[in-house]
Amino acid sequence: MSIVRTLSQIVNMIPGSELVGEDLVIQGVSTDSRDELNGKLFVPIVGERFDAHQFFPQAIENGVKAVFCSRNFSNVPSNVSVILVDDTLEALQTLAKSYLKEWNGKVVGITGSNGKTSTKDILTSILSAKYKVHKTQGNFNNHIGLPLTVLSMEEDTEVAVLEMGMSNFGEIEFLSKLAEPDAAIITNIGESHMQELGSRAGIAKAKLEIASGLSNEGLLVINGDEPLLIESTRNNPSTYAIETFGFDDKNDFYPTFIEMNETGSEFEINKSHNIRFKLEVLGKHNISNTLAAIAVARKFSLTWEEISVGMQQLEMTKMRMELLKNQNGLTIINDAYNASVTSMKAALLFASELNGYGNKIVVFGDMLELGDQEIAFHEEIGEEVVKLQFDYLYTYGPLSKFAAVSAFEQMNSSHVKSFDDKTKLIEDLVQHVKPNDLVLVKASRGMKLEEVVNGLLEMK
């Protein structure tokens, strides 16, 4: 289920729009003409290099009965109902905002350089112990994806957990003002999008735009271990509350006990009256993400017991610190969904602390969108691999090669290998790994290192 409205109702939700044709009931919205579209509203997006209005015939072939259409498009289809609008993307965004205003639930916005998706999954799991929750699927976190996420929400949903991504200033502000969150989380400040934003201070400023749409009674949850966020919110003139999380005991939410294991961790926090939480997600950094989620859960009146129950039902998005074993017993940490300097170091630290393995092998692909310091950042990862005493380093891509160069002189030279051909990397890796080894696979999304993971899983 998703949005269910008559076309005339939708026209009333989008000022300036006009219905041509039969007043039908639609259930759901799609921007992809290849979808099964029977009963849905098709919204053709116009981009810099494409105009999806040209796909009206395909959409009709796939069952669509109603479409948005720009008034500037000359060939308006006559065999379906049409809502004429000035701009189809703006109409989609306005429809989503109107849908939220007609709905009676709570919204949480989540942003940050790393950990958005993990925090979204953890918070959704926790809140599901008390509420019906809808969350962003995949990476539908931009100016197109967020409206589609909202419009795919069932009307009896009680909380919407919306991930908000960005690559430049103003984008988070736009999403926040569209969604008007009751609570917002900034997981951390890293180095991603340095090219567009200039500095970590610029990144912090862009992430703090998430507070733009917060109500006066809202809650902003920030990583208190990040000085840039603390300094930027020190003299906050707004009336919304600010709470901090992190490992430092100066935070509002911090752990008082941590025990790590191969499947996750157990921990206690300062406010939970000795309740021990079990988190079945790898990596200490995910404890930090959980603290942020707990702060919002408490704002939404969950008891400590409900929070504990919700954590036990956790299902994480794939390729996020995912522990896998192949048929030979080889252990693989699949963290191939994305990478930044901060998340890469966190993954390396976690893998280095696991015991009981033979060789520990890092497969590292390029980290993208790091700006003019990208070479230095990749060299830094090579140094980290050496410092944490990994046995092998495999790199893939032109940037990660700099990590190999920085590690080459300090590691056994035959244990550092760079590849521009992913197939050759997989072939070499498969020949050298042994059943009791541990392989960490991590890179930015564009490097598609899940193909390496699949190669290891399929090896005989």
Band the pLDDT of 197: cuts 50, 70, 90. Answer: low
Q: Are 207 and 112 in contact (CB under 8 A)?
A: yes
- The answer to whether residue 96 is domain-embedded is no
Q: What is the pLDDT of residues 68-89, one digit of tens each?
A: 999 999 889 999 999 999 999 9
Pairing of strands 183-186, 219-223: parallel
State mean pLDDT over 90-103. Answer: 98
Q: What is the pLDDT of residues 131-155, one digit of tens each?
A: 999 999 877 899 999 999 999 999 9
At residue 6, what is the residue type? T
pLDDT cut 70: percent of the chain above it: 97
**CA neighbor of 320 nearest in space, from 166, 156, 117:** 117
151 and 179 in a common domain? yes
271 and 167 in a common domain? yes
What dihedral do alpha carbons 134, 137, 140, 141 form, nearest 10°?
60
241 and 151 in a common domain? yes
258 and 128 in a common domain? yes
Pairing of strands 106-111, 183-186: parallel
160 and 297 in a common domain? yes
- Which stretch of DSSP H or E encloses residue 151? helix 145-151
Band the pLDDT of 387: cuts 50, 70, 90. Answer: very high
Q: For residue 458, is pLDDT > 70? A: yes
249 and 369 in a common domain? no
State mean pLDDT over 428-433. Answer: 94
Range of the domain at 398: 322-458
- The answer to whether residue 95 is domain-embedded is no
Band the pLDDT of 191: cuts 50, 70, 90. Answer: low
Two structure tokens written together for 80: 């379906």
Q: For residue 180, is pLDDT > 60? A: yes
138 and 69 in a common domain? no
Two structure tokens written together for 336: 């191939």
pLDDT of residue 1: 65
Strand stretches in 15-158, DSSP E = 18-20, 25-27, 29-30, 41-42, 66-70, 81-85, 106-111, 133-135
Burial (CB < 10 A; 0-12, 13-18, 19+), residue 142, is: middle
**Max mean pLDDT range (149-153, 235-239, 365-369):** 149-153
First to last CA, the chain: 43
- The answer to whether residue 93 is domain-embedded is no
- The answer to whether residue 97 is domain-embedded is no
What CA–CA distance (Å, rounded) separates 160 from 212? Answer: 18
What CA–CA distance (Å, rounded) separates 233 from 224? Answer: 11
Tell which of 262, 286, 311 closes a domain: 311
- ∠ Cα 256 258 264 (to 5°): 145
**CA neighbor of 117 nearest in space, from 96, 100, 145, 140:** 140
Specify the range with the lowest mean pLDDT, choosing from 13-22, 41-50, 258-267, 434-443. 258-267
- The answer to whether residue 231 is domain-embedded is yes
Q: 47 or 452: whose pLDDT is higher?
A: 452
What CA–CA distance (Å, rounded) separates 258 from 109? Answer: 27
Pairing of strands 25-27, 264-269: unpaired
At residue 273, what is the residue type? H
Q: 15 or 284: whose pLDDT is higher?
A: 15
Give the distance from CA 332 to its chain's centroid.
Answer: 22
Q: Are 369 and 143 in contact (CB under 8 A)?
A: no
Q: 254 or 233: whose pLDDT is higher?
A: 254
Band the pLDDT of 234: cuts 50, 70, 90. Answer: confident
Band the pLDDT of 359: cuts 50, 70, 90. Answer: very high
Burial (CB < 10 A; 0-12, 13-18, 19+), residue 355, is: exposed
- ∠ Cα 274 276 279 (to 5°): 155
What CA–CA distance (Å, rounded) separates 145 from 154? Answer: 16
For residue 144, report the phi and psi dihedrals to the nearest 5 degrees. Answer: -100, -45
pLDDT of residue 369: 81
pLDDT of residue 194: 56
339 and 302 in a common domain? no
Band the pLDDT of 124: cuts 50, 70, 90. Answer: very high
367 and 412 in a common domain? yes
Specify the range with the lowest mean pLDDT, choosing from 151-165, 184-198, 332-346, 398-412. 184-198
- The answer to whether residue 317 is domain-embedded is no
Two structure tokens written together for 390: 């990994």
Tell which of 38, 59, 87 closes a domain: 87
State mean pLDDT over 223-247. Answer: 91
| CATH code at position 242 | 3.40.1190.10
- Which stretch of DSSP H or E encloses residue 395? strand 392-396
| CATH code at position 60 | 3.40.1390.10
DSSP state, 290? H
Q: For residue 183, is pLDDT > 70? A: yes
**CA neighbor of 68 nearest in space, from 93, 85, 90, 46:** 85
Global confidence as pTM: 0.79
Q: What is the pLDDT of residues 251-308, one digit of tens each?
A: 999 999 999 887 889 999 999 888 999 998 888 889 999 999 999 999 999 999 999 9
358 and 433 in a common domain? yes
Band the pLDDT of 66: cuts 50, 70, 90. Answer: very high
Pairing of strands 331-335, 322-325: antiparallel
| CATH code at position 348 | 3.90.190.20
Tell which of 311, 335, 363 closes a domain: 311
The per-residue pLDDT of the chain, averaged, comes to: 92
pLDDT of residue 230: 93
262 and 133 in a common domain? yes
Q: What is the pLDDT of residues 401-420, one digit of tens each?
A: 999 999 988 898 899 999 99
pLDDT of residue 381: 95
For residue 207, report the phi and psi dihedrals to the nearest 5 degrees. Answer: -65, -35
Q: Total domain count for the chain?
A: 3
- Which stretch of DSSP H or E encloses residue 364? strand 360-365
110 and 43 in a common domain? no
